Amino acid sequence: MTQGMLTLYYTPHTCALASHIALEQAGAKYQAVRIDFSKNEQRSPEYLRINPKGRVPALLTDRGVLTETPAMLLFICQSFPSVNLAPLDDPFALAEVQAFNSYLCSTVHVAHSHRMRGYRWADDAGAIAAMQRKVPQSVGECFDLIERELLRGPWVMGPAYTICDMYLFTLAQWLEADGVDPGRFPKVSDHRRRTSEDPVVRKVIADELAAF
């Protein structure tokens, strides 16, 4: 399927990295536009017209804007099917991919968000501090499950590199800052090392930091 120019709105060190890697891996024609959280650009009137949620990532296409990482990743797979980033024609296998990515967005990322974004769920400073204290445990339990049950090896879904790998790699970058020792998760750590050596991944990270 041909696509016009795509525009990815991203901020370094956010989950937008997963979609950025997928676009590059797919060979998509895209530009990446940085949204500067330090200037609160995600809340600017211009950006809220693109994404009323006031978050990154967002993907501008010739048919409109997409948000939410699991949806954007699926869109990239389906738009560039020859790149084989997900088992599109196998309903069970595709659902396994979507289940893994849904777990990352609704449970792993959410656990992590209680460190810096506790104000979303409580107003009280003491409550926000209590949430921060639990992040090492809650994020650690998520990665225990990934290590023990979900990551098949060598890639998340087994022999094939998929959109799950880009997304897991992205969230695993946050372990140290969340106060979780990555050494507890040998399979996740090995996965992260191998993914970080991928030339596409290296290019995308370099591009994000250079623009920053």
75 or 169: whose CB is closer to its own copies?
75
72 or 166: whose CB is closer to its own copies?
72
- Residue 86: alpha-carbon gap to chain centroid: 16
Beta strand extents in 19-111 (DSSP E only)? 30-34, 58-61, 64-67
- Residue type at 2 in one-letter notation: T
Does 117 participate in binding its own copies (rule CB under 8 A)? no
- State the Cα–Cα distance between residues 84 and 82, nearest whole angstrom: 5
Q: Which of 29, 43, 117, 148 binds its own copies (CB under 8 A)?
A: 148
Q: Identify which range of 95-103, 154-162, 163-171, 198-206 contacts its own copies by CB under 8 A.
A: 95-103
Q: Identify which range of 5-13, 24-32, 100-108, 165-173 contacts its own copies by CB under 8 A.
A: 100-108
Q: Give CB contacts under 8 A, 24+ apart, made by 48-54.
A: 50/9, 51/9
Q: Which of 83, 122, 160, 205 binds its own copies (CB under 8 A)?
A: 122
Say which residues have a Cβ less than 8 Å from residue 113's Cβ, sequence separation at least 6. Answer: 120
- Please state the length of the chain: 212
Q: How far is the CB of 23 from its own copies (least distance, A)?
A: 13
Does 70 participate in binding its own copies (rule CB under 8 A)? yes
